[in-house]
Structure 1
């Protein structure tokens, strides 16, 4: 278990046990490690609560006329009473993921940081009263307390949400009164009654739903939270109620995903049994592009779109719980040096799972999360049925390659702490093991193609060769020089393109091919006709389609990378293809400069062939 060591000043500090550190560094960590992280997280939450109380010691934020005054003192007193008389009820509220998210946002707001919601400060900090009311109700206490109203809704964390249909103002207050387990929420002339029990629906009352993880009678439930404003990250949001059918679908999905996790990821399943607490559902996204989010301040909470299938949901839970574990670890010890001061330029990196360049801290989060994804698919591919195995092999091959290449990029970075170096060293060892695992050739080739395409498109959008070298290349081309200047191979400058989207198109199209080859992939966002031809293996057709794009006005940068793939089977164009698949930004920059100087660009294939004669690694 986690131990606390005394300091000379009487303070104690949480420290992870050596076995837990070793397990977490490998990207693993079971129940014991997560319990240690939760113990530290509990202390952190209590400190944040105290910081909030200290910040409010000068008085409550001003409320508009016509609202009943809220008192943080009364809320604090009631919360303390709940802790004394029913400690478990208090703990459930304290450790709810949404409590952590609210505490972080409220403290930042009080200190002048940018607001993440449009609610006024008195409503944000007044959420303390909603927490106190929920804790006291769970403790079985009788009380009366004023709480905030948000657009006619009164959320009571972990219990439910009352709807005051007659409310006309966006922000207001209501009285919550508890007597013998019965809750009465009154705003103006309207009263909503809830319970007992609170899990039962009533007019104007929406109870928090809970999903049973398995049918073993373990009693482990997951909040399916549609109600709490702080269930979504990083921006709070109004309730989004599911239909009864949607709720049943989520129950079936989570039960089946849990069975997969218990079989393929038993250590993770045991860790999630204590550390995973809530799931905030969002609508289904584009096929093979699920969306999920966690926040370091909301330990145990996951926001996820409805998945395409059960295996995808299992992988998503592993992915997001990796973020949860790493967030808890970082609260105890940073992995990298603090971010650059405001206004200073921060080093950014290629992240194979993102469209945008990422700072080191963000890159480490992605490495850790996708290491878990690779681990999941490594095992699941052997348990999947014959129809699903090709997709599982592809996912494993893709993510092991992406994680491995990224670890190699930064595992010796000077800004890593000792803990960061230890973690990347352990993950590097895992990657070496994964890279030695056999994968069927078709899925291996598809994964490599998807990985290479993502990197090439990213380079085309975000990298710029030295301007002087591009200018020299233009004049060399116009003079008929045999090859481009060597300076064109100097390391390019990173110029982030904020509009870049859908760099994972090749991977999505590969999933269509493996998962449902009869389906029409033409609706894939970011996929042009040329991409679809590539996915079907029609290289001549793709070549002509990419050339048509590059011959038009404002051609997409990624078309150069696509052209490189389309000419890959032509022996005499091998150097041109290699150049476009590895350094498409050179062709993009030189062609743009030629058009600027002469009013006319070169033939894309001939330009790539010429540039390919001078291909070299970046110096």
Structure 2
């Protein structure tokens, strides 16, 4: 990111150091490079604040909003806080929630974002920022701020609940001699010294201190701020005392794991990880987490299964944060110039096809995940070690294949190509590292299974070739027409779900929890028989029964391929179903449509396999 002089004032020019880029290109980067990215992000936010100031002064937006929120008073208080306590101003400015608010509000002003709250409430949030900065700077002041459904938010501090007759109103925040009074239309909250502690009518931001060494990592456990969630604001969701303690314990243990196994990442997080927004627990082995480029330093995550999973999640999301910061400074790819067209790719960590920019983010994030499990497998014990070996083997394989898929793409910038080549070299070295045979074999099966399920959902052979294949099958031809093996067309299936089921079931098995595998969403009984119990014969029969009926799940074809593996008579069918299941899917669907009845799944797969050039080669 570069800034040009405006008038007589020269704005700072940000460049990433050579050493910083070298570290980031390897998927790493410690405290020093994160501080470089943060400096650029600070300038960006200052520019956004100025753009917001200018936007609120024009575009027909009144200088005084709502029932008395004054943008001018807010700017004046922010300037006072910046002069008096610049470190406080920067802390409020650099909160992930502030970044998200700035981005959403600017979009709203430009008419490209629509929220249910009035514009004056979103824009008036600047007064709440100013009040927070003023309180923390020790200033005396009085200012009106928005009230959203009876809640007054003071970013980085907490929120007060006051009585309000309307969903959107205002309250006056007054600070005098260390005392804070918040007065709304129908109620008042008084907060004395010690605003960092919760009290009746006041819910303070919960902060967690991690580590015993100095400096500690101190992060906010965000439950309150409306801009803590992505991609749009949400109501507060306070944790119970028990849930808060659970998160405290998990974060403490995860931090100790990172200090031991990922010390460079831990140092980077000391500078750039500012908040974690907890969300409810999800299904086992399927945690959900997200970051946003506009919320540098913030991670939203579901409650994990254990501390190791949380440590991996933090590494994953911090990779996104670092790469997002790099891409602010210089793009890694350029958009396709064809209007209405964006090339999509297979991403082995997603159910859906991804554009090039999103794929680069995934490659970078999962390179970090592979690196974490590579180290953690040597410090974990028992079933945890087995799981860690599997995760390392799986993600190094998936990153390697995806880097090679796009490494020479024409829409990569020179910087993007350098980054991918560096990551490729790193991943190539990982491929030579030994992994126990059982976990390595399982990781390869899972990688192949995900790709097969993705192909079954999103790829379609040429329609004319499918029609010709149906006719050939009904005539009793020895093999399908060669056109069935032509390059398929990508047709994204918005209904694709749970393509990671083989990985989830593998984790159940590795951790000795196979008996619970039937509870995994997206798992058919046949999947459980095969993955959790190793019952190939039972799984084969169950898959055949499933695929002989109408409306069978497309992923079942990939499952049948795995169940048939090892049967000499069906080896070609098994390889086809694990490599190109879309061909059999398409013919079976067309047969059902033409005749009202599909073919025997195994016989059809064997027949289609006779036309597969890849198998004959």
Aligned partner of 1:523 in structure 2 is 519
1:334 alignment partner, one of 327, 331, 334 = 331
2:87 & 2:63 partners in 1: Cα distance? 33
1:49 Cα offset (Å): 0.5
Q: Which string of whole-angstrom CA distances, capped at 9 and with x for unpartnered residues, describes residues 232-286 of structure 1?
A: 1112111100111211111111111111111111111001001100011111110
* Equivalent residue number for residue 349 of structure 1: 345
Q: TM-score, normalised by structure 1?
A: 0.96
Tell me the secondary structure at the aligned position of residue 13 of structure 2.
Answer: strand
Measure, in 2, the Cα distance between the counterparts of 1:245 and 1:320.
Answer: 25
Match of 1:592 in 2: 589
For residue 368 of structure 2, what is the aligned residue in structure 1?
372
SS in 1 for 2:599: coil
Question: How far off is 1:114 after superposition?
Answer: 2.9
Residue of 303, 307, 313 corresponding to 1:306? 303
- Measured in 2, the distance between the counterparts of 1:133 and 1:582 equals 60
Deviation at 1:195, TM superposition (A): 3.2
User: How do 1:278-297 residues align onto structure 2 when only pairs under 5 Å count?
Assistant: 278-297=275-294
Distance 1:122 1:323 in 2: 32
Please report how far the alpha carbon of residue 394 of structure 1 lies from its aligned counterpart in structure 2 after TM superposition.
0.5
Aligned to 2:610: 613
* Pair 1:576 & 2:573 matched: yes
Shift of 1:518: 5.4
Between 530-539 and 365-374, report the one with greater CA deviation.
530-539
Distance 1:60 1:207, change over 3 A: farther
Of 194, 218, 221, the residue aligned with 1:221 is 218
Q: Is the 8 A contact 1:60 1:71 kept in 2?
A: no
Distance change (3 Å), C-alpha of 1:340 and 1:196: farther
Instruction: Report the Cα offset of residue 180 of structure 1.
Output: 1.4
Match of 1:400 among 380, 393, 396: 396
Aligned counterpart for 2:117 among listed residues 119, 132, 136? 119
Aligned pairs (5 A) from 1:91-490:
91-115=90-114, 117-164=115-162, 166-338=163-335, 344-490=340-486
Q: Is the 8 A contact 2:290 2:301 kept in 1?
A: yes
Per-residue CA distance 1:346-395 (angstroms, 9 max, x = gap)? 10011000001100000000000000000000011011113310000000
| 2:80 matched residue in structure 1 | 81
Change (3 A) 1:64 1:518: same
Q: CA deviation at 1:338?
A: 2.9
Residues 176/339 of structure 1: CA separation in 2 closer, same or farther (3 Å cut): farther
Instruction: Output the CA distance in 2 between the equivalents of 1:25 and 1:478.
Output: 55
1:497 paired residue number: 493
- Indicate the residue corresponding to 2:19 in structure 1: 19
What CA distance in whole angstroms lies between the structure 1 residues aligned with 2:74 and 2:194?
Answer: 23
Q: For the structure 1 residues 217 and 249, does the alpha-carbon distance in structure 2 shift closer, same or farther, using more than 3 Å as the test?
A: farther
SS in 1 for 2:180: strand
SS in 2 for 1:284: coil
What corresponds to 2:70 in structure 1? 71
d(CA) in 2 for partners of 1:420 and 1:591? 42
Are the equivalent residues in 1 in contact too, given 2:548–2:599 (CA < 8 A)?
no
Instruction: Flag the 1:59–1:113 CA change in 2: closer, same or farther, 3 A.
Output: closer
The gaps in structure 1 that reach 5 residues or longer are: none
Distance 1:322 1:210 in 2: 23
C-alpha separation in 1, matches of 2:140 and 2:539: 71
Gaps of 5+ in 2: none
**Higher mean C-alpha deviation, range 7-16 or range 416-425:** 7-16
Q: 1:188 to 1:274 in 2, by over 3 A?
A: same
- C-alpha offsets along residues 417-463 of structure 1, whole Å, 9 cap, x if unaligned? 01110110001001101111110011111111111111111111111
Shift of 1:550: 1.1
Preserved CA contact (<8 Å) 1:6 1:13:
no
Aligned-partner Cα distance in 2 for 1:567–1:64: 71
Deviation per CA, 1:163-218, whole angstroms, max 9, x where unpaired?
A: 11x21321111111111121111111311122311112221100001001112252
Report the counterpart of residue 58 of structure 1 in structure 2: 58
User: How has the CA–CA distance of structure 1 residues 3 and 62 changed in structure 2, closer, same or farther, with 3 Å as cutoff?
Assistant: closer
C-alpha separation in 1, matches of 2:381 and 2:23: 30
Q: What SS does structure 1 have at the residue aligned with 2:182?
A: strand
- CA contact under 8 A between 1:474 and 1:594: conserved in structure 2? yes
Deviates more, 1:321-330 or 1:489-498: 489-498
Secondary structure at the aligned position of 1:161 is classed as strand
Distance 1:518 1:336, change over 3 A: closer
Match of 1:539 in 2: 536
Is the CA contact 1:63–1:122 (under 8 Å) kept in the aligned structure 2?
no
Single out whichever of 53-62 and 137-146 deviates more from structure 2. 53-62
**How many residues in Structure 1 have an aligned counterpart in Structure 2?**
614
Asked if 2 retains the 8 angstrom alpha-carbon contact of 1:193 and 1:202, the reply is no
Moved more, 541-550 or 275-284: 541-550
Secondary structure at 1:15 match in 2: coil
Q: Is the 8 A contact 1:60 1:72 kept in 2?
A: no
- Using the alignment, how far apart are the partners of 1:482 and 1:7 within structure 2? 75
Helix, strand or coil at the partner of 1:56: helix
Aligned Cα RMSD in Å? 2.1
CA contact (8 A) 2:457 2:496 kept: yes
- Distance 1:339-1:128 versus aligned 2 partners, 3 A rule: farther
